[in-house]
Amino acid sequence: MASTAKARTYDGQPMNLKQLEYFVSVAELGSFSKAAVVLDIAQPALSRQVRALEIELRETLLLRNGRGVTLTEAGQRLFEHSLGILQQVAQARADMTATRDEPVGHITIALPPSMGRQLTLPLIDAFRRQLPQGKLAIVEGLTTHIAEWIATGRVDLGLLYNPEPQAGLEIQPVLDEPLCLVQRAGEKARGALPLRELHRYSLVLPERMHVIRRLLDAQATLAGLTLDIAWEVSSIAAIIDLVCAGYGHAVLTATAVAASGRADELSVRPLTEPTLTSVLCLARSAHKRPTPLMRHAARLLTELVAALPQGSAAQSRPG
- CATH code (residue 286): 3.40.190.10
pLDDT at position 94, please?
65
pLDDT value of position 10: 44
Report which of 129, 130, 109, 131 is spatially closest to residue 120, judged by C-alpha positions. Answer: 109
Q: What is the pTM of this model?
A: 0.62
207 and 268 together in one domain: yes
Q: What is the pLDDT of residue 39?
A: 85
In a shared domain, residues 36 and 106: no
pLDDT of residue 316: 33
Q: Are 133 and 221 contained in the same domain?
A: no
- Same-domain check for residues 181 and 273: yes
Q: How many domains does the chain have?
A: 3
25, 141, 161, 164, 234 from 114: Cα distances, Å: 29, 10, 10, 19, 12
Q: What is the pLDDT along the chain (319 residues), one digit of tens a residue?
A: 344 434 344 444 678 888 999 999 899 889 898 888 888 899 999 999 999 999 999 999 999 887 889 999 999 999 999 988 887 887 777 666 555 566 778 889 999 887 888 889 999 999 999 988 888 899 988 888 899 899 888 899 999 988 888 888 999 999 888 889 999 887 777 788 898 988 899 999 988 777 788 888 888 888 888 988 899 988 888 999 999 999 999 998 888 888 788 888 898 888 988 888 888 999 999 888 888 889 999 999 999 998 886 533 333 333 3
Q: The CATH number of the domain where 73 resides is what?
A: 1.10.10.10
186 lies in a domain? yes
Domain range for 50 is 2-82
Are 71 and 26 part of one and the same domain? yes
CA atoms of 153 and 23, how far apart (whole Å): 18
Instruction: Judge if 227 and 297 occupy the same domain.
Output: no
Based on the domain organization, do 238 and 167 belong to the same domain? Answer: no
Q: Contact, 190 vs 217, CB < 8 A?
A: no
Q: Are 286 and 112 in contact (CB under 8 A)?
A: no
From residue 33, how far is each of 51, 69, 76, 79 by CA, in Å?
15, 10, 20, 19
pLDDT at 242: 93
